[in-house]
Each structure stands twice: as C-alpha cells, then as structure tokens.
Amino acid sequence: MNVRGWLVQLYPHRWRERYGTEFEALLEECLHSPLDVLDIFLGALDAHLELTHEMDWRLMNMINKLRTTILVVFAAYIGFVIGGLSLYGLVDDSPAAALMKTDATLSAAWITVEAGSVISLLAVVIGGMPLALTVIRRALTSSREDLRLLLTPVFVFVALVLYGGFLAAIASGRLHIQGVAPGVSPDNFPIGNRLALGGFMLVFVLGAIASTAAVWKVISNTDAEQGTFRVLGRTTSVKLYEYAFTPAVITALGMFLMLAGTLAFGWLAYAALPQWFSENSGLLLSNTALSFGITVTIMILCAAAALFGVLRGYSSRRPA
C-alpha cells in the first residue's frame, strides 16, 4: 500500500465509502510536505470524533486551515498551562524560590516565564473573544448540542472546586479519613495523601482535556466565517479566524518565551542548588529533576504543536 492509500485508511470506514475516491484525488494534488501529512492526521481525528459533517475536501483553502490553526494553538496553550502549573508547584516554597530574592539572574529567568504567561493569556483572550461570543450566541439560539458541550468547562470547574474543598477539609482537620494525614512532609507522606492529591491532579488534567475537546468540537461545528457585534453603538463585522490568527502567533511566541525562561531557570537553579535537584521535592514528592524534566517535556511538545499550527496558518496565507 502506498503512502496515500495508508493515509486514507486512517479515516473511518463509513467516511472512506463516501469520500475515499475524491480524497485520494485530492492527495495526488496537494500532498507535498510533512505539514500536509499532519493536516491529514488532523482531518482523520476530526472524522473519528465526528467533528465534521458535510465536508468540502478541498481542505487546503484559507478558512479551514486558519480554523485548525486557532484550534491547535488553543489546545497547545492549554497543555502548556498544565506544564506551567506543574512548574509553579515545583518552585513554590522551594529553595529556588528563596534564592530568587537575592539572585538577580534567577529572578530574571522567572520573570521571563511570568511575562510569557501574561502575553499568551492576553493573546488568547483578545484573539478568542469574537469567536467565543459567536459560538456562545449560536449555542444559545440554535444548537442544544453545542450548548451542552460548552457546559463541559463549567462542570469541570465545579468538580475541581468540590475536590479542592474536600482536600481543604482534610487539611483543616474537619474531615478525617483513615490513612490520610492532615499535613504532609518529605518524611511523612502517606499513600492515602498521595492518592488524594494525585486524584486532584488527574481530575484537573482529564478536565482540561475534556474541556479542550468540547471547545474544539463546538468550533469545528461552527461554519460562520464572520461575526457581527455592536461596539460603542456601532455594528462591527469581524472575520473570525483571520482576526484570531495574529493573537495565535503571539500566543505561540509567548509559549516559546516561557519555555526559554524555564530552561534558563532550570540551568541557573541547578548551578546554584544541585542538591535540590537530587531531592524528592517534585510533584507528589517525586524526584525534583524528574519532575522538572517532565514539565519541560510537556512545554516543548506543546510549543512544537503551537509552532506547527502557526506554520500551517501561514502556509494558507501564501498566494496560490
């Protein structure tokens, strides 16, 4: 089987029966680079998740690519946030946090991480606001399925709040569970506490994945290319995906800034505090170096995904 035939096989059987012949012809025309292969993988994911319906398989037009760019960068950003929270949990109340008060270079590396996080967050909010308002308006007026999907982040947030309250009740001594101590230390971290805290982390990660998938599906189901809004008494029309592309680029740049700051912070911290990296001060009191390595790996993968999304968006904007 050649590469094109193998790529077609990635799609569901029912989909292949309906679109296979046309899609193979499309691949003959536009399968030229690794980015195109990644496009096909994304399309297969959409097909298996049933995120698309009546599809025009001339996918390489600007709107479809820009839409996927926004979604890929958004998903990568959410993954990067998970890595960032892991980094914050590692550094908080650590010797490195105390050293930042006197070490200007270590402090500058941490400030770089914080600056990148602010830049990325603002870009996501500014770039995603028109699209979010359009999606919410559509869900409230014409799509109950989309409305249910948009409630997924709300349910996840409620679950996290309830779980957090459960942990707080244990820590304050108001709730007693056998095998779970009110407080922990490196020398006293019962298996019950590890399971309780690990459960919270699992709920957070799975909730982030579920919320991202829900938003991905809702946006994929939204055919609107433009949104109309009233701003200061005036009606304004916005090309949703073109408008969001520049903030998506800024989000990706912010992620790389955070990654650079994290790598610099780790290098400087290791030079000053090598013993800290050999201790068990990581997540769930795991090895510090291992925890930091996992965090950096998550950041690298997410930054690479965001870069792919941006390059894909740029390729759609090149003149034919």
Mean pLDDT of the chain: 83
- pLDDT at residue 108, rounded to an integer: 96
- pLDDT at residue 286, rounded to an integer: 84
Please choose, from the candidates 35, 90, 116, the residue with its C-alpha nearest in 3D space to the C-alpha of residue 285.
90
Q: 201 to each of 123, 187, 206, 228, 284, how far by Cα in Å?
A: 26, 22, 9, 39, 10
Please choose, from the candidates 164, 154, 171, 153, the residue with its C-alpha nearest in 3D space to the C-alpha of residue 200.
164
CA dist 218 and 137 (Å) reads 12
Structure confidence by residue, pLDDT tens digits, 2-22: 677 777 888 888 777 877 777
Query: Is the predicted pLDDT of residue 54 greater than 70, yes or no?
Result: no
The alpha carbon dihedral of 54, 57, 58, 60 has a sign of positive
Q: How confident is the model at residue 227 (pLDDT cuts 50, 70, 90)?
A: low
- Cβ burial of 43 (10 Å; 0-12, 13-18, 19+) is buried
CA dist 24 and 7 (Å) reads 9
Q: How confident is the model at residue 249 (pLDDT cuts 50, 70, 90)?
A: very high
Mean pLDDT check: name the lowest of 164-168, 258-262, 291-295, 310-314: 310-314
- pLDDT at residue 147, rounded to an integer: 84
Q: How confident is the model at residue 64 (pLDDT cuts 50, 70, 90)?
A: low
Structure-token pair, residue 104: 């200007």
CA dist 95 and 269 (Å) reads 9
- pLDDT at residue 229, rounded to an integer: 65
- pLDDT at residue 244, rounded to an integer: 87
- pLDDT at residue 63, rounded to an integer: 61
CA dist 220 and 236 (Å) reads 23
Contact between 282 and 290 (Cβ < 8 Å): yes
Phi, psi (degrees; rounded to nearest 5) at 38 = -65, -35
Single-letter residue type at 303:
A
Q: What percent of the chain shows pLDDT beyond 70?
A: 83
Between the two ends of the chain, the Cα-to-Cα distance in Å is 31
- pLDDT at residue 224, rounded to an integer: 61
Contact between 77 and 306 (Cβ < 8 Å): yes
CA dist 83 and 117 (Å) reads 12
Please choose, from the candidates 244, 224, 218, the residue with its C-alpha nearest in 3D space to the C-alpha of residue 151.
218
Contact between 214 and 150 (Cβ < 8 Å): yes
- 295 against 69, higher pLDDT: 295
In the chain, the DSSP E strands lie at 226-231, 234-239
Q: What is the dihedral of CA 34, 39, 43, 44, to 10 degrees?
A: 10
Mean pLDDT check: name the lowest of 71-75, 129-133, 216-220, 294-298: 216-220
pTM: 0.78
Structure confidence by residue, pLDDT tens digits, 68-115: 788 889 999 999 999 999 999 899 889 999 999 999 999 999 999 999
- pLDDT at residue 226, rounded to an integer: 66
Could you tell me how many residues make up the chain? 320
Query: Is the predicted pLDDT of residue 317 greater than 70, yes or no?
Result: no
Please choose, from the candidates 67, 121, 80, the residue with its C-alpha nearest in 3D space to the C-alpha of residue 313.
67
Q: What is the mean pLDDT of residues 38-50?
A: 67
- 170 against 237, higher pLDDT: 170
Q: What is the dihedral of CA 136, 137, 143, 149, to 10 degrees?
A: 0
CA dist 63 and 240 (Å) reads 10
Phi, psi (degrees; rounded to nearest 5) at 282 = -85, -165
Residue with tokens 């980015």: 35
Contact between 79 and 316 (Cβ < 8 Å): no
Structure confidence by residue, pLDDT tens digits, 125-183: 999 888 888 888 877 887 778 888 889 999 999 999 999 999 999 888 888 888 888 87
Query: Is the predicted pLDDT of residue 208 greater than 70, yes or no?
Result: yes
